[in-house]
Amino acid sequence: MKPVEVKFTEEEKQELREALEDMEKPVELHVFIGPNCEYCDEMLKLVKTLEEAAPVRNGQKLIKVHVWEKGKHDEMFKKQKVERIPSLTMLDGVIRYTGVPAGEEVRGLVETIIRISTDDSGLDESTIERIKKINVPVHIEIVVTPQCPYCPYAALLANMFAFEAWKAGRRDFIADTVEAYENPDIADKYNVTSVPAIAINGVLAFVGVPYEEDFIDRIERVALKHEKVETQIISESATGL
């Protein structure tokens, strides 16, 4: 048995259909696959199930799946900054799943789709205003496993931060949910022994699900540090003239 496997009972498929009935506007899922990919079939199985379970409005399914293959659609890989297969993205690639969001992770993925579809992140208004003011690149990595019951909440929170940044016109604020079994090198990079583990711009920031306020506080500190470094580089450059 694979450590990452997509399986839905008929009861689970019905629950999925009922949950997705809350959708209002179409949501596009971009799936990135390639040759010699152990888990690409699992990713395709997942998105096919989601597409089939999605409601129909005005004669069209509200979940639209696009499949891109490495070696054939490399421009799309480059455009959405996807380097690993399988991956799944939404909203121009600012929400990304590196590896299959299987098991418990399906719940967070479904809720992400619904919130995008209804244009409601669920975040506090003060958090949204703070997200809008962040003007430096942010890359959040949420390291997860399919069996972790808390991981979907961490991924959903990061996804909604990226969603609000996307609505504000940002395309360099990325929430990247990383499946640890498929990407052990990333888990090893942060010495992950417990999930969810959350890194911000390459530095481990949380183990466990953070409170919304703590999360935006930490991102702001990372942004401030970036700005100080940029200012220092500019100052040193000016001094050298």
Q: Say if 160 falls within a structural domain.
A: yes
> Is 125 part of any domain?
yes
pLDDT, residue 225, reads 79
* Mean pLDDT confidence for 19-32: 97
Residue 1 lies in a domain: no
User: How far apart (Å, rounded) are the C-alpha atoms in residues 240 and 97?
Assistant: 43
This prediction has a pTM of 0.91
Predicted confidence (pLDDT) per residue in 88-124, tens digit: 999 999 999 999 999 999 999 999 999 999 999 999 9
In tens, the pLDDT along 175-198 reads 999 999 999 999 999 999 999 999
Residue 42 domain-assigned?
Answer: yes
The pLDDT of residue 239 is above 50? no
- For the cut 50, the answer to whether the pLDDT of residue 229 exceeds it is no
Domain with 207, as residue range(s), is: 10-239
CATH number of domain containing 224: 3.40.30.80
**Closest to 70 in 3D by CA, of 85, 49, 48:** 85
The SS3 assignment for 134 reads: coil
Q: Is 93 within the bounds of a domain?
A: yes
Residue 136 lies in a domain: yes
Q: Does residue 3 lie in a domain region?
A: no
**Domains in the chain: how many in total?**
1
- Measured at the CA of 157, the angle between CA 156 and CA 158, to 5 degrees, comes to 95
In a domain? residue 2: no
